[in-house]
Amino acid sequence: MAAEADIGQAPGKPPIWNDPRYRALFFQVVVLGGIIFFFVYITNNTLANLERQGIASGFGFLSRTAGFDISMHLIDWDEEMTYGRAFTVSVINTLLVSFLGIVFATLLGFVMGVARLSRNWLIAKLSAVYIETFRNIPLLLQIFFWYFGVLRNLPESVRESVNVFDLAFLNRRGLFVPSPQAEPAFWVVIVLFFGGIVASIFLARWAKQRQEATGQYFPVLSTSAGLILGVPILAFIVLGFPINWDVPELGRFNFSGGAELIPEFVALLLALSVYTASFIAEIVRAGILSVSHGQTEAAFALGLRPNWTLRLIIIPQALRVIIPPLTSQYLNLTKNSSLAAAIAYPDLILVFAGTVLMQTGQAVEVIAMAMAVYLTISLLISALMNWYNKKIALVER
Amino acid sequence: MKGLKIVTVGAVLAFAASGAANAATLDDVKRKGFVQCGVSQGLPGFSNPDEKGNWAGIDVDVCRGMAAAIFGDAKKVKYTPLSAKERFTALQSGEVDVLPRNTTWTLVRDTALGLDFTTINFYDGQGFMVRKALGVKAATELDGASVCVQIGTTTELNLSDFFRANNISFKPVVFEKADEVVAAYDAGRCDVYTTDRSGLAAQRTKMKNPDEHLVLPEVISKEPLGPVVRHGDNNWGDIVRWTLYAMLEAEELGVDSKNVDKMKDSKNPNIRRLLGVEGEMGKNLGLPNDWAFNIVKQVGNYGESYERNVGPNTPIALARGVNKLWKDGGLMYPMPVR
């Protein structure tokens, strides 16, 4: 007994419940167990309550016939398809408006951010007014502004549509443009386009290696542009324009044929891009200002030309500051796209968490699926941006 | 808003201890002292707040009648405005006690949602509204038209069915709130606005220029509208059902809010039973014996409610039509109070 007590109290060997490592492990196990119990409990309780209240549950509804129409679909859709297909159609619509929104917001945001730092007084002030206006008005109001405010000023009757050379038409029903129908020979152009991208990647690698070995510079950017765009366009002309245009024609109520951009889509895309761009502009401005002027002076002192200074010195350092908050803006834009429901753009919330939820009454399953989709999109964007952030992060030697 | 309500139902379903939701709604209502009534976000004639914020309408009268039957005071009602999308969730989660919100009785809603329809307070059908300037005479001429419609309604499905059955195409523009549907149609986004014909008549009063629009003759669906309760509380369902029957029975017996005091002395045993002078009808429902007297005295009979809210002398101006009593050639047929 005495001997054991001695060992237990020997310095450096505390009892197991006083050992910080074991204690930390114990608490983590308790917390993890608690969380697992919590989720098992609420899942079981939810199922039991649904059962008791006689509310249908399960995912069988996904294979039932939907019976409603969707105003915009990138993949085939008609009323006889299933709720599962409606889910896919609405996810694609959400992805489309989010992706295009991110692209336009980034372009506009970078331009406006740089413009606000311009030495030209007018450009700087115009940019500041834009940023402060759109950053400080609630997004839902802006969506209504683009939808109702702008829509009401378009021609009401289809016969009075804004007519662009009998090819494109604009009225309150949307923008109608000719849609391209590829002829067989068009695949040559597509192959050349993707071939150009692959060739550019190899070219960039080769140029970098050569520059590191010999110090000689090769104009990668302009050569790549020529490979990716120039060659396919040349082939397109040589092959004799292998594309047919399906031009919209006026019917009794509206145009048929061609491609149609519904006003809901345009209004939502504009609102999301313009709103988010105002935040991105400020992030870009902060990023550029974070690179001290000494860096520029040092680059000039080494004899670098101004545009090289921007490309090699300032932008890489600014990006380190820009990327993390930019990721948040991308995530915000994606989630904000759910406001589409207010103006009838058929996104995930309107079609799936709206019509499908109402027609099936299965709120728990439908909302869980909708949340899973937004979570997946957001995590993918985060992963992509984190990967890029790591790539451009300061490499310490 | 809608998110919150859906989260609420999720939370209620997740955490509610078994047995709580089936508790007698009547006891809960008596304890809190008012009926929580789920209504529309503003449909003139059915449920719409006036300038002073008092709700009125033929649906609202169901709740007022229930409050009169339970408490003897038709004012003991609180209203929760709900969009079409939110309504069932709000009822399922117990946020409202009863849902008289121009809701169509369908098989799926009656079975899969954990809800029960009680009876019908308005027989309706879906119709189309177009601009007169379009020169359309029949709905079958609408091939290729854009149609504004509200989400989460039977209307949305009937619309697809109608165009599919007639082998013509249309472009749906689906909004979440009724007001947004009307605003978009009024702004010229759509050629056609579709909802129940009573809704068309009611919403037309809100438009910039009501005379420019025309309701097409076709009625493309049956829309029996009636109050909904949670499945499983039969006594509460009985109270909703018999509140309406009492209003209809009163009309059939010629009892209205003006003569109801005098009618208590009537020799007609049917009237005496209804007004609680004879028998114990109220007790069977778990209500005071003068339940129907209070309904008629404070809210009026069905005919009075109809004329006051949607009848020919109101801006909505709907003829009584199929909503007449059965003995006048309509579909309204109250079960005997005995």
| B2, pLDDT greater than 50 | no
Model pLDDT for residues A54-98, shown as the tens digit of each residue: 777 888 888 888 888 888 888 888 888 999 999 999 999 999 999
- Angstrom distance (rounded) from CA B12 to CA A52: 13
Selection from B335, B318, B326 nearest residue B102 by Cα? B318
> What residues of chain B lie within 8 A of the CB of A338, using their CB?
none
The pLDDT of residue A11: 62
- Angstrom distance (rounded) from CA B217 to CA B214: 9
Residues 6+ apart with CB under 8 A from B127: B194, B195, B196, B197, B200, B215, B216, B218, B219, B220
Give a yes or no: residue A170 inside a domain: no
Selection from A288, A184, A170 nearest residue A240 by Cα? A184
Chain B: give the shortest CA distance to residue A358, in Å: 5
Q: Are residues A279 and A364 in the same domain?
A: yes
Does residue A382 or residue A7 have the better pLDDT? A382
Contact yes or no for B100/B63 (Cβ under 8 A) = yes
> What residues of chain B lie within 8 A of the CB of A54, using their CB?
111, 114, 231-232
In CATH terms, the fold of domain B2-123+225-328 is D-Maltodextrin-Binding Protein; domain 2 (3.40.190)
Name the residue type at position B245. Answer: Y
| B18, pLDDT greater than 80 | no
Contact yes or no for A86/A70 (Cβ under 8 A) = yes
Q: Are residues A231 and A96 in the same domain?
A: no
Average pLDDT, chain A: 85
The pLDDT of residue A189: 81
Pick from A156, A355, A357: CB nearest B174: A355
Q: How many domains does chain A have?
A: 3
Report CA dihedral (B14, B20, B25, B31) to the nearest 10 degrees: -110
- Angstrom distance (rounded) from CA B113 to CA A16: 55
Task: Flag if A253 and B231 touch (Cβ within 8 Å).
Answer: no
* CATH tag, B126-221: 3.40.190.10
Q: Are residues A302 and A383 in the same domain?
A: yes
- Angstrom distance (rounded) from CA A44 to CA B255: 53
Pick from B14, B159, B180: CB nearest A342: B180
Task: Flag if B187 and A172 touch (Cβ within 8 Å).
Answer: yes
Pick from B152, B161, B230: CB nearest A358: B152
The pLDDT of residue B96: 95
Pick from B18, B157, B184: CB nearest A52: B18
CATH code at position A363: 1.10.3720.10
Task: Flag if A67 and B6 touch (Cβ within 8 Å).
Answer: no
Minimum Cα–Cα distance from B183: chain A residue: A148
Task: Flag if B92 and A54 touch (Cβ within 8 Å).
Answer: no
The pLDDT of residue A176: 81
| B287, pLDDT greater than 80 | yes
Tokens representing residue A198 in the block? 């692959």
| B9, pLDDT greater than 70 | no
| B4, pLDDT greater than 60 | no
Task: Flag if B13 and A50 touch (Cβ within 8 Å).
Answer: yes
Question: What contacts 24+ positions apart, CB below 8 Å, involve B314-321?
Answer: B314/B45, B315/B44, B315/B205, B316/B44, B316/B45, B316/B198, B316/B201, B316/B202, B316/B205, B317/B201, B318/B45, B318/B198, B318/B201, B321/B123
- Angstrom distance (rounded) from CA A186 to CA A193: 11
| A163, pLDDT greater than 80 | no
> What residues of chain A lie within 8 A of the CB of B8, using their CB?
none
Rg (CA), chain B: 21
Model pLDDT for residues A15-41, shown as the tens digit of each residue: 777 888 888 888 899 999 999 999 999
Contact yes or no for B246/B295 (Cβ under 8 A) = yes
Chain B: give the shortest CA distance to residue A166, in Å: 20
Contact yes or no for A46/A24 (Cβ under 8 A) = no
Mean pLDDT (whole number) for A37-47: 89
Least confident of A122-136, A141-155, B223-237: A141-155
Task: Flag if B114 and A55 touch (Cβ within 8 Å).
Answer: yes
The pLDDT of residue A159: 67
CB atoms under 10 Å from CB of B319, counted, come to: 10
- Angstrom distance (rounded) from CA B127 to CA B123: 13
Task: Flag if B145 and A360 touch (Cβ within 8 Å).
Answer: no
Q: Are residues A133 and A276 in the same domain?
A: yes
Contact yes or no for B173/A264 (Cβ under 8 A) = yes
- Angstrom distance (rounded) from CA B263 to CA B275: 8
The pLDDT of residue B6: 57
Minimum Cα–Cα distance from A65: chain B residue: B157
Q: Are residues A351 and A384 in the same domain?
A: yes
> What residues of chain B lie within 8 A of the CB of A347, using their CB?
none
> What residues of chain B lie within 8 A of the CB of A344, using their CB?
173-175, 180, 184
- Domain carrying residue A379: 83-164+262-392
Residues 6+ apart with CB under 8 A from B15: A42, A45
Task: Flag if A358 and B187 touch (Cβ within 8 Å).
Answer: no
Pick from A263, A346, A363: CB nearest B189: A263
> What residues of chain A lie within 8 A of the CB of B174, using their CB?
71, 344, 346, 350-351, 354-355
Q: Which of B4, B15, B115, B173 to mutate to test the interface with A (most CBs of A within 10 A)?
A: B173
Give a yes or no: residue A187 inside a domain: yes
- Angstrom distance (rounded) from CA A267 to CA A101: 11
Task: Flag if A67 and B157 touch (Cβ within 8 Å).
Answer: yes
The pLDDT of residue A88: 94
User: Is B65 in a helix, a strand, or coil?
Assistant: helix
Q: Are residues A130 and A34 in the same domain?
A: no
> What residues of chain B lie within 8 A of the CB of A355, using their CB?
151-152, 156, 174
> What residues of chain B lie within 8 A of the CB of A254, using their CB?
144-146, 171, 191
Task: Flag if A173 and B189 touch (Cβ within 8 Å).
Answer: yes
Model pLDDT for residues A166-223, shown as the tens digit of each residue: 777 787 777 887 777 777 777 888 888 888 889 888 888 888 888 888 878 778 778 8
Does residue A126 or residue B206 have the better pLDDT? A126
Q: Residues of CATH 3.40.190.10 domain(s) within chain B? A: 2-123+225-328, 126-221
Pick from B144, B164, B184: CB nearest A344: B184
Q: Which of A40, A46, A53 to mutate to test the interface with B (most CBs of B within 10 A)?
A: A53
Selection from B152, B193, B192 nearest residue B176 by Cα? B152
Residues 6+ apart with CB under 8 A from A278: A109, A112, A130, A131, A132, A133, A134, A135
Chain A: give the shortest CA distance to residue B12, in Å: 8
Pick from B170, B173, B187: CB nearest A148: B187
Model pLDDT for residues A330-381, shown as the tens digit of each residue: 999 999 999 988 888 999 998 998 888 888 888 888 999 999 999 999 999 9
Mean pLDDT (whole number) for B201-215: 87
> What residues of chain B lie within 8 A of the CB of A262, using their CB?
173
Q: Are residues A268 and A372 in the same domain?
A: yes
Give a yes or no: residue A239 inside a domain: yes
Q: Which of the four pLDDT bands, split at 50, 70 and 90, describes residue B21?
A: very low
Give a yes or no: residue A77 inside a domain: no
Q: Which helix (H) or strand (E) holds A281?
A: helix A263-290
> What residues of chain B lie within 8 A of the CB of A45, using their CB?
13-16, 18
Q: Are residues A340 and A384 in the same domain?
A: yes
The pLDDT of residue A240: 73
| A278, pLDDT greater than 70 | yes
DSSP structure string for B212-254: GEEE-S---S-EEE--EEETT-HHHHHHHHHHHHHHHHHHHTT
Task: Flag if A173 and B22 touch (Cβ within 8 Å).
Answer: no
Tokens representing residue A139 in the block? 């997004």
| Complex ipTM more than 0.90, yes or no | no
Minimum Cα–Cα distance from A144: chain B residue: B180
Contact yes or no for B303/B61 (Cβ under 8 A) = no
Task: Flag if B176 and A152 touch (Cβ within 8 Å).
Answer: no
Contact yes or no for B164/A370 (Cβ under 8 A) = no
Does residue A176 or residue A159 have the better pLDDT? A176
Task: Flag if A254 and B183 touch (Cβ within 8 Å).
Answer: no
Contact yes or no for A346/A262 (Cβ under 8 A) = no
Average pLDDT, chain B: 88
Task: Flag if A148 and B183 touch (Cβ within 8 Å).
Answer: yes
The pLDDT of residue B7: 57
| A44, pLDDT greater than 60 | yes
Chain B: give the shortest CA distance to residue A286, in Å: 35
Mean pLDDT (whole number) for A305-329: 88
Q: Are residues A274 and A312 in the same domain?
A: yes
Pick from B12, B92, B145: CB nearest A253: B145
Q: Are residues A18 and A148 in the same domain?
A: no
Task: Flag if A55 and B92 touch (Cβ within 8 Å).
Answer: yes
Pick from B6, B173, B232: CB nearest A53: B232
Q: Are residues A134 and A235 in the same domain?
A: no
Q: Are residues A269 and A373 in the same domain?
A: yes
Task: Flag if A344 and B175 touch (Cβ within 8 Å).
Answer: yes
Strand partners, B127: B195
Among A14, A31, A53, the domain-final residue is A53
Chain A: give the shortest CA distance to residue B336, in Å: 31
> What residues of chain A lie within 8 A of the CB of B12, using their CB?
49
Strand partners, A174: A171
